[in-house]
Amino acid sequence: MFKYFLKRLGYIVLAVFIISALTFGLLQLAPGNYLDTQRILQQSYSSATMSDQMRAEWEKFYGMDKPALQRYADFLINAVQLKFGPSYQYSNQRIEDIIARTLPISARLAFSAILVALVIGIPLGIIAAIRQNKILDRVVVLISMIGSSVPAYVMAIACTYFLGLKLKWLPTIGWGEPKHYIMPIIALSLGPIGTVTKYTRGTLVETLNQEYIRVARAKGGDFIRVTFKHALRNSLIPLITVVGPMLASLTVGTVFVENMYAIPGLGQYYASAAVNRDYPLVMATTLIFAIMVMGMNLLVDMVHAFLDPRVRVSLTTKGGK
């Protein structure tokens, strides 16, 4: 297992390097830059423009006067030390400080949405599996399909319109109070609810058809006891492989929801950095998001192997090759 872990860790390092190189290259090829964006905005509101001397000083301060390869090498050296330097937009703040302040907010939103998805999705999946091919099962499957198909931003717009503007039950913007969590969590949890419901139903139906479950019921075992004590316990273990990456992807995918509700999370800063061509912040957040997704996948594999001996044997065999 340790050898497999080191092998996966090596793949993650290689993947992060490739992602950083591709991101840096694409940003260099992208039209426009931060200075051009700011010049357009300044001309939209005033006649002020940046002089050539100011531009030269700005480029020297951020190292933009260096060759591209040297800038990329400097970025990698600093990134290993978790030092990303100042942001273009927020020149008085270091990027690592921005990430440390905003990433927990995005992670809290994602974790809350996953928790809601598990609390709702698992019972729905159990009901659908027990009532397989019945009307209730079909209704639950239909609801889960709709939930999985509706994007978070569509749900966010619907929540804002009905719960915020029409019914005036919840604030449509703001952060810091419990009521500000409700609409973002609803918008983010709808898709995961559908996924958890379908996965729970599928694995439980498969487990209920296993030979040892049939034997337990043939010996006179109570249906509810056999289902919840034996079948459900074995069915929920594979759910870990879904929940872990889902948590990471939700943390990455809160960009629109954070912008819509003015939530000061990393997603909002990421979107603002992309619009304003704040390349250092874009590079840093892209790397952090990539490490989160791949790290969570590795953690899920290790936990799954710990809980299921069959997976542990499989991973050990792969690690030895």
- Kindly list the domain boundaries of the chain, sorted by start residue: 95-320
pLDDT reported for residue 48: 46
Contact call for residues 184 and 106 (beta carbons, < 8 A):
no
Distances (CA, A) of 301 to 7, 9, 211, 247, 307: 13, 12, 27, 14, 10
Spatial separation of the C-alpha atoms in residues 97 and 84, rounded to whole Å: 9
**pLDDT of amino acid 50:** 55
- pLDDT of 317 reads 62
Global confidence as pTM: 0.80
Q: Which residue has 């990329």 as its token pair? A: 72
131: exposed, middle or buried (C-beta count within 10 Å: 0-12, 13-18, 19+)?
A: middle
Angle 45-49-50 (CA atoms, 0-180°, nearest 5)?
A: 140
Whole-angstrom Cα distance, residue 130 to residue 205?
A: 8
Return per-residue pLDDT of the chain as tens, 321 residues: 778 788 888 999 999 999 999 999 988 887 767 776 666 655 544 444 556 677 677 677 777 778 888 889 988 998 888 888 888 888 788 999 999 999 999 888 989 999 999 999 999 998 888 888 889 889 998 988 888 888 888 899 999 999 989 988 998 888 888 888 899 999 999 989 999 999 888 888 888 777 777 777 777 666 677 777 767 777 777 787 788 878 877 877 678 888 888 888 888 888 888 888 888 899 999 998 889 888 888 888 787 777 666 666 665 665 544
CATH of domain 95-320: 1.10.3720.10
